[in-house]
Amino acid sequence: MATTYLFRAPAIALVVLLSRLAPASAQVPQPAPEGARPGCRDRCGNISIPYPFGIGAGCYRDDGLAGFELRCDDTRSPPLLSIYGGGYNHQLTSLSLAAGEATAYHNASRQCFNDTGGFVNGNSVYTSLGTSPYLFSPAKNRLVALGCPNLGYFVDGAGYYVSGCMSVCRPSQYTIPGECTGVGCCQSEIPTGLNLFEPHQYNFPMGQGDEIFSADRTACHYVLLVGTEWIGLSYSNRAYANRTSDFAVPVVLDWAVRNVGNCSAAKRNMTDYACRSVNSTCVNSTNGAGYRCNCSEGYEGNPYLKLARLIFLCSRFSYFFGSNDDIATAL
Ligand SMILES: *[C@@H]1O[C@H](CO)[C@@H](O)[C@H](O)[C@H]1NC(C)=O
Ligand SMILES: *[C@@H]1O[C@H](CO)[C@@H](O)[C@H](O)[C@H]1NC(C)=O
Ligand SMILES: *[C@@H]1O[C@H](CO)[C@@H](O)[C@H](O)[C@H]1NC(C)=O
Ligand SMILES: *[C@@H]1O[C@H](CO)[C@@H](O)[C@H](O)[C@H]1NC(C)=O
Ligand SMILES: *[C@@H]1O[C@H](CO)[C@@H](O)[C@H](O)[C@H]1NC(C)=O
Ligand SMILES: *[C@@H]1O[C@H](CO)[C@@H](O)[C@H](O)[C@H]1NC(C)=O
Ligand SMILES: *[C@@H]1O[C@H](CO)[C@@H](O)[C@H](O)[C@H]1NC(C)=O
Ligand SMILES: *[C@@H]1O[C@H](CO)[C@@H](O)[C@H](O)[C@H]1NC(C)=O
Ligand SMILES: *[C@@H]1O[C@H](CO)[C@@H](O)[C@H](O)[C@H]1NC(C)=O
């Protein structure tokens, strides 16, 4: 497939470029599809850090909204990537330019009770994303309440209810099929534009109200905001039914350039406009204000970089990098 394209004009330019990059040997490195600014760190452990994200001065997009600046703690094993600035501190485990997503980790909130229903201990994990580029993804996250009986919910900054669900137990000999469908675990959808998660759990006092809500109580119950993938892959009613310890879960964040409201507003200031590659297009954010950049159809790379590091720009180069053999043929 690679050779088919070699007769096109841009391909000639590429071959010249490649021979400059890799003078003496055919050992051309496989380029990452997205890159950092030149001179900037492009990985933390095995997580790649594409611009507009970056570590250190001049390496990230600095538009007044903290959040594109990251830090990497190499003393941890594996190295720990987190959002720097703005006091966010959230640990990140993935970043994607094409999907406009990042994955962060936070702990579930827990409440535990003794045999007579007295509160023993717990924790409440409040997560704020402030005015950063990040918002919780409504498509890829759910509010989940675990343990029973439990009414798990969360409120907005003004303290008003946003979303929640009710988890009730059934005697273990009467299990019903399905994971997290309301028995011992429930889930609910969340709205767009959400930058705050303040979890609450309503504890049903023992021996009060309808008996169906009190049978087969679990010692602890939890409420969490978590990626749908975790619910499908990592969660099982069996594994979480009698849990009593803390645990961390992945939550999917939608990021965008949010210092202006949309593409039309952004294009009015070309100095600030984030879509730098000539072969890129602007896409309005579908979760909250702002925009992101896409490489044009048929191009791949980093639309946020401009003539900085040619191999990372939106380009057709990926067609030529099928394998090192293809490149050797080209050279
Ligand atoms: C990165 O490393 C972590 C821990 O070492 C591992 O669980 C994960 O699968 C790795 N991810 C990729 C994309 O290689
Ligand atoms: C932007 O690119 C992504 C990933 O390639 C694609 O899923 C999405 O449809 C594109 N959006 C637009 C508006 O072209
Ligand atoms: C359960 O907790 C309550 C309140 O914390 C306490 O008063 C009670 O003595 C405890 N009961 C048992 C059996 O530990
Ligand atoms: C949870 O604990 C209860 C009480 O000890 C037990 O009856 C039940 O089988 C346990 N459930 C699972 C899934 O382990
Ligand atoms: C979060 O959960 C981990 C276990 O996954 C635990 O070691 C840690 O202490 C918890 N942190 C907080 C603040 O509760
Ligand atoms: C686009 O963004 C600008 C500035 O951020 C804002 O004034 C305008 O109302 C937005 N347009 C729409 C239709 O949302
Ligand atoms: C983005 O939104 C603005 C305001 O609603 C609209 O005028 C513009 O056409 C949209 N641009 C794209 C690329 O969707
Ligand atoms: C355009 O963006 C630049 C860089 O962010 C900023 O310094 C400048 O004030 C902006 N101009 C206008 C007219 O908003
Ligand atoms: C990509 O950019 C080049 C140079 O500006 C231009 O000639 C070409 O038409 C662009 N391709 C697309 C699909 O926009």
Ligand nearest to the CA of 279: 9
pLDDT in tens, 114-163: 998 899 999 999 988 988 999 999 999 999 999 999 999 999 989 999 99
What residue spans define the domains of the chain? 32-98, 104-253, 261-316
DSSP-assigned letters across all residues of 190-255? --SS--EEEEEEEE--TT-S-GGGTTT--SEEEEEEEEHHHHHHT--HHHHTT--S--EEEEEEEE
pLDDT along the chain (331 residues), means of 10: 29 32 37 75 92 94 91 94 79 93 95 93 91 95 96 94 95 86 96 96 84 87 96 86 93 97 97 92 97 92 74 62 38 32
Predicted confidence at residue 29, as pLDDT, reads 40
Mutate to test the pocket of ligand 7, among 257, 258, 260, 264 (most ligand atoms within 8 A of CB): 264
pLDDT in tens, 308-318: 545 567 877 55
The Cβ of residue 13 has, within 10 Å, a number of other Cβ atoms equal to 11
Length of the chain: 331
Q: With a 6 A CB cut-off, is 46 part of the ligand 1 pocket?
A: yes
pLDDT in tens, 52-85: 999 999 999 999 888 999 999 999 999 999 998 7
Mutate to test the pocket of ligand 7, among 258, 263, 292 (most ligand atoms within 8 A of CB): 263
Mean pLDDT, all residues of the chain: 83
Rounded to whole angstroms, the Cα distance separating 23 from 3 reads 20
Nearest CA owner, ligand 4 atom 5: 242
Nearest CA owner, ligand 1 atom 10: 46
Mutate to test the pocket of ligand 9, among 8, 278, 297 (most ligand atoms within 8 A of CB): 278
Predicted confidence at residue 88, as pLDDT, reads 67
Nearest CA owner, ligand 2 atom 10: 294
Predicted confidence at residue 250, as pLDDT, reads 96
What the block records as the tokens of 271 is 């100095």
Q: With a 6 A CB cut-off, is 89 part of the ligand 9 pocket?
A: no
| CA 327 to chain centroid | 34
Rounded to whole angstroms, the Cα distance separating 189 from 126 reads 18
Nearest CA owner, ligand 1 atom 4: 78
